[in-house]
Amino acid sequence: MRNALYAQSGGVTAVINATACGVIETARRWPERIGTVYAGMNGIVGVLREDLVDTSAEDPEQVARLRDTPGGAFGSCRYKLPASEPMNADLMRLFEVLQAHDIGYFFYNGGGDSQDTAHKILMASEAIGYPLTCIGIPKTVDNDLAGTDCCPGFGSVARYVAISVQEASLDVASMCDTSTKVFVLEVMGRHAGWIAAASGLAGKGEGDPPHVILFPEVAFDQERFLERVRSTVERVGYCVIVASEGAKNPDGSFLSASSGKDAFGHAKLGGVAAYIASLVKNQLGFKYHFAISDYLQRSARHIASKTDLDHAYAVGAAAVDAAAAGTNGVMITIDRKRDVPYQWKTGTHPLDQVANLEVPLPRDYITPDGFGITLAARTYLAPLIEGDAPPRYEAGLPVFARLRMRRVGRQLPEYAPLRP
Amino acid sequence: MRNALYAQSGGVTAVINATACGVIETARRWPERIGTVYAGMNGIVGVLREDLVDTSAEDPEQVARLRDTPGGAFGSCRYKLPASEPMNADLMRLFEVLQAHDIGYFFYNGGGDSQDTAHKILMASEAIGYPLTCIGIPKTVDNDLAGTDCCPGFGSVARYVAISVQEASLDVASMCDTSTKVFVLEVMGRHAGWIAAASGLAGKGEGDPPHVILFPEVAFDQERFLERVRSTVERVGYCVIVASEGAKNPDGSFLSASSGKDAFGHAKLGGVAAYIASLVKNQLGFKYHFAISDYLQRSARHIASKTDLDHAYAVGAAAVDAAAAGTNGVMITIDRKRDVPYQWKTGTHPLDQVANLEVPLPRDYITPDGFGITLAARTYLAPLIEGDAPPRYEAGLPVFARLRMRRVGRQLPEYAPLRP
């Protein structure tokens, strides 16, 4: 019997804590194999600092409530571990920490970079002969991990974006006769248009919003775009645009890089919505509004999809079961069995075939005109936003987990990670 | 027995259609007094154009579903009717339309400008001797109408903002160790800080977000603001800021007007969040994210407060009951009887004491430092966000009302409103 270490990494989601819950609850079912589950504070950075939480000190009711709690309960990090060859101080320190706390199972919960980290640690453990079961657990709103049908976290953002577009479009439709005619919603997706695509689920028929989706995968054609907006306003009375933050000019530069200067004369960061809105105002004269969901979209636990929540819990549980059964060096996956009715199960995929790959939105998910989604996209996306799983509310506000966060006693000297 | 006319005006809300539902359903209970309820398309503009919908053609099930449907089902407008003295073409036309369809009850559902319109029409009806019962129905997310304890539409935005701050703050808290340290949420409220204040409900104890609220009522003090952000990051690890779009510089100019130029060299519209974020980045060096909820906040029916939804229905129902009982020239109000447990009833307030007044956030709702809300504010705000009232979902998406929108046959020549 050895202890386990779980940590969260990269941008967090509305349901990553459901994965933590799956790990902690499932480990308790393997008392002969798995001892204490420690959580690294702020991902691998906390492991390097020997900043560990003893999850066995938590009240089971609060652990269960992690399902209802967005964000990363144990903190996350953006930290890329140095490559394992040659061996480096970070990796040396990592194994000192693992050894000091008799950790034999390492579960890393994140996106592509995090799977790469898990893979590096696996390689290093073999190189130095430290027996370690190393399992990656998928999480990313970007939905771009290889080997899995979808990524926990994505389904809830997808639902948030689709519902937000439906709701805001009814607002714009009400106002368009004498006021706002164009509404732009900026969504996440720096490299792939999965989230932008999900907004397309808001519309069912001809003329339904969103009328224009700007994908990172389709070079922005200003003339065709403006013509589409103009004709949509003429036909429908208003136009709803969903712009991926990763939308690009034909030369490959981000549209957001064209969005002007801030009050300090610096190039504005972000701001594809502001750019698109200004363009529409200046070229077509329409009154506009724009919204930027930013963190709200990926933390909106209140509107999380039940499917996504179930996926998130299941990948945590499956990681522990796989590890206890002797599997090593894999990432847990969601495998789709059927579209309608939706059927799925968890599976595994070798870590070395996941790390540093990004799965783009397939071209056949985008309509030939580049502004919408196809039936293939709808078939893929629809099950992921299904089901309602509201948190418990008290006095109108959600009730989140309150963890004790009892720190594990330090046994090693202090250490500063190489890339702070 | 005479017919009734209902119309929606100004910025719409997540629950204004619940008011429409209250009007239509309640009118059916007064068959001896009220004939058909017509709805003006796009507010008073549609009345002037004789563009009317016969709501008696609607399926009662779809009318009931208006409770679940954000935006303005009959369209809204931003249109200020010319003053009634001297009599003008708009008002002459209005009474021609009312007479042509034997309309004896006029219900106008909106904010301060709309109550002013209702009052002008009442004055004009008396001046020309056209018997008309004229009732204003309150609606505004700005919560700034006189004579009522609160305004339907506000409670739901308040809940949206409070929950969004809670959720996004958990996200920022997860990321702050190695990434984002400051998060800014821009909320509506050009003239009053009611919505910004509601975000304060997200925090219960010392150190809880939001850490800084920027109100239109408090002149922005850059130095004190930056010091507060810096010390908050030092103490808590991150800082969450809620900025009202109406936040102002000491000279009275909008902060958003300082936010730089757009890609076309024009002063950027909106953008207080971008300005504040740039300021923090440039002066303190912290990595930031910002979100702009814009229409999402006022159309978010999925997270509407039950209290607000009940208010919205009740003011519609009470308007019809008042009119049928012979009351005239009033706006329906929400009267608070008790804070805890919350008790309320509808009341009335003379239209001439509502029109063109704006109720600011009381100074004693803002903490002495100008960055937070007091217990008095919490006591006032808390009941308004209480209760969950989710819409029905199918395949993960809300099911909205589908109205037939049968137009009433035109009996008059075409007319173009004076201010198109």
Which member of A12, A185, A258 has the closest CB to residue B171? A12
Average pLDDT over chain B reads 95
Give the best residue of A157, A262, A378 to mutate against chain B (max B CB count within 10 A): A262
- Domain A2-153+301-357+390-398 falls in which CATH fold? Rossmann fold (3.40.50)
pLDDT at A355 exceeding the cut of 90: no
The nearest CA of chain B is from the CA of A296 a distance in Å of: 6
Q: What residue ranges in B101-238 does DSSP mark as E strands?
A: 103-110, 133-138, 182-187, 212-214
Indicate which residue of B54, B142, B308, B310 is catalytic: B142
- DSSP H or E run through B22: helix B16-27
- Burial profile B71-110: b = 16 or more Cβ within 10 angstroms, e = fewer: bbbbbbbbbebeebeeeeebbebbbbbbeebebbbbbbbb
In the predicted model, what is the mean pLDDT of residues B159-166?
98
Q: Give the closest residue to A56 by CA, choosing from A417, A420, A409, A407.
A: A407
Per-residue pLDDT at A266: 58
Q: What is the DSSP letter of B62?
A: H
The nearest CA of chain A is from the CA of B33 a distance in Å of: 30
The nearest CA of chain A is from the CA of B32 a distance in Å of: 32
- Domain A154-299 falls in which CATH fold? Rossmann fold (3.40.50)
Contact state of B274 with A275 under an 8 Å Cβ cutoff: no
Place of tokens 């208006």: B66
pLDDT at A205 exceeding the cut of 90: no
Instruction: Encode pLDDT of B96-122 as tens digits.
Output: 999 999 999 999 999 999 999 999 999
Chain A residue closest in CA terms to B384 = A396
Domains of chain B, residue spans: 2-153+302-357+387-398, 154-299
Q: Which residues pair with B366 in a beta bridge?
A: B373
Interface A-B: count of C-beta contacts within 8 A: 254
Q: Is the ipTM of this complex over 0.90?
A: yes
Q: Are B275 and B260 in contact (CB under 8 A)?
A: yes
In the predicted model, what is the mean pLDDT of residues A67-88?
90
Which member of A258, A261, A388 has the closest CB to residue B260? A261
B350 prior amide bond cis, ω within 30:
no
Q: Give the closest residue to A305 by CA, choosing from A157, A139, A194.
A: A157
The nearest CA of chain B is from the CA of A166 a distance in Å of: 9
Per-residue pLDDT at A356: 76
Average pLDDT over chain A reads 95
Give the best residue of A90, A275, A302, A386 to mutate against chain B (max B CB count within 10 A): A302
In the predicted model, what is the mean pLDDT of residues A324-329?
98
The β-bridge relationship of strands A103-110 and A212-214 is: unpaired
3-state SS, residue B262: coil
**Catalytic site residue B142?**
yes
Polymer length of chain A? 420
Instruction: Encode pLDDT of B376-395 as tens digits.
Output: 999 999 999 999 999 999 99
Contact state of B387 with A396 under an 8 Å Cβ cutoff: yes
Looking at domain B2-153+302-357+387-398, its CATH architecture is 3-Layer(aba) Sandwich (3.40)
Phi, psi of A169 (to 5 degrees): -65, -35
B375: left (phi over 0), alpha (psi -120 to 50) or beta: alpha
Which member of A299, A387, A390 has the closest CB to residue B171? A299
pLDDT at A261 exceeding the cut of 80: no
Contact state of B396 with A162 under an 8 Å Cβ cutoff: yes
Instruction: Encode pLDDT of B193-214 as tens digits.
Output: 999 999 999 998 889 999 999 9
Per-residue pLDDT at B355: 79
Task: Please give the Cα distance from B361 to B335 (Å, whole number).
Answer: 18
Q: What is the DSSP string of B229-245?
A: HHHHHHHHS-EEEEEET
* A164 contact residues in B (CB cutoff 8 A): 296, 300
In the predicted model, what is the mean pLDDT of residues B278-302?
96
Q: Which residues pair with B346 in a beta bridge?
A: B334
Q: Give the closest residue to B141 by CA, choosing from B160, B163, B157.
A: B157
pLDDT at B420 exceeding the cut of 80: no
Chain B residue closest in CA terms to A387 = B396
Instruction: Encode pLDDT of A116-155 as tens digits.
Output: 999 999 999 999 999 999 999 999 999 999 999 999 999 9
In the predicted model, what is the mean pLDDT of residues A159-185?
97
Locate all alpha helices (DSSP H) within B83-132, ordered by sequence: 89-100, 112-128
The nearest CA of chain A is from the CA of B351 a distance in Å of: 25
Phi, psi of A41 (to 5 degrees): -75, 130
Indicate which residue of A68, A90, A142, A144 is catalytic: A142
Q: Judge if A2-153+301-357+390-398 and A154-299 fold alike in CATH terms.
A: yes
pLDDT at B239 exceeding the cut of 90: yes
Residue B87 — very low, low, confident or very high, per pLDDT cuts 50/70/90? confident
Per-residue pLDDT at A127: 92
* B403 contact residues in A (CB cutoff 8 A): none
Residues with Cβ < 8 Å from B341, sequence gap 6 or more?
Answer: none
Taking each helix axis from N to C end, the angle separating A89-100 and A112-128, rounded to the nearest 10 degrees, works out to 80
Q: What is the pTM of this model?
A: 0.97
Which member of B41, B179, B292 has the closest CB to residue A292? B292
Instruction: Encode pLDDT of B17-39 as tens digits.
Output: 999 999 999 999 999 999 999 99
Residues with Cβ < 8 Å from A213, sequence gap 6 or more?
Answer: A193, A196, A197, A199, A200, A241, A242, A243, A244, A371, A372, A373
Task: Please give the Cα distance from A398 to A390 (Å, whole number).
Answer: 9
Residue B259 — very low, low, confident or very high, per pLDDT cuts 50/70/90? low
